[in-house]
Amino acid sequence: MSAFGFRKPDDLPATIPVFPLTGAVLFPRSALPLNIFEPRYLNMIDDALAAERLVGMIQPADGGTSAKPALSQVGCVGRITTFSETDDGRYLITLTGVSRFRVGRELDVPSPYRKVAPDWYAFASDLSGRDNAAAIDQEMLARALRDYAVAKGFQVDWEAATDAPAEMLVNAVCAACPFTPMEKQMLLEAETLADRSDTLVALLELGASASGAGTMQ
């Protein structure tokens, strides 16, 4: 069950505000820190705090205008779990992922920020948590991550990576690696945790190969 008491899709709201942000992908049960400064999104956070504290993170897609880009078909709603206000009027928040959603339709609303009617049913398993312990090849993932880190020249806390639960590890690597927005969307849309892990390993291996790194045994 979701940590916030959402047991089934019908427990989630029929409409949600959305924050289109390229490269920012939220996964269920993962945390995403955000620095909010645009007036329309300050307004959005004010309204969310006064209601269910839910905000949908979604990436822009091709099409639309610079002021109102098209939206990807799949996003993830998160609950505001930390909030602070800076002296210059910004909000520093953390969203904790609740469930992915498919955009049913965008609503015509008077608010300066956008809202959609989400379809929660395609990702109902996000709420149950039954997929958390899905079998993944953690050794293969660690090897692919090691090769990728060598190729890209950054350090990895291998002890933490080895000890982390499967879902936490997969989602942390998805968020931390400098994948393209399209690649991040692929990871978000992977149906199960095992599917996401397989996609992640493929992206890591491709990235390491493109940088000329060999497999390390």
* pLDDT for the residue 4: 81
DSSP letter string, 52-109: T-EEEEE-EEEEE-SSSEEE-SEEEEEEEEEEEE-TTS-EEEEEEEEEEEEEEEE---
Our measurement of the distance from residue 216's CA atom to the centroid of its chain's CA atoms, rounded to an integer in Å, reads 30
Pull the structure tokens for residue 13: 């709201």
- The answer, as to whether pTM is greater than 0.85, is yes
Distance of alpha carbon 43 from alpha carbon 112, whole angstroms: 8
3-state DSSP call for residue 20? strand
Phi-psi region at 5: left, alpha or beta (left = phi > 0; alpha = psi -120 to 50): left
Q: Which helix (H) or strand (E) holds 32?
A: strand 31-36
**Sole residue written with tokens 């959305």:** 18
Q: Please state, as a whole number, how many other Cβ atoms lie within 10 Å of the Cβ of residue 172.
A: 16
Q: Please state, as a whole number, how many other Cβ atoms lie within 10 Å of the Cβ of residue 152.
A: 14
Which residue, 39, 40, 29, is CA-closest to 169?
29
Q: What are phi and psi of 130, to 5 degrees?
A: -65, -20
pLDDT per residue as tens, the chain (217 positions): 556 889 899 999 999 999 999 999 999 999 999 999 999 999 999 999 999 999 999 999 998 888 899 999 999 999 999 999 999 999 999 999 999 999 999 999 999 999 999 999 999 989 976 655 557 888 888 889 889 988 888 777 766 666 778 888 899 899 889 899 999 999 999 999 999 999 999 999 999 988 765 444 3
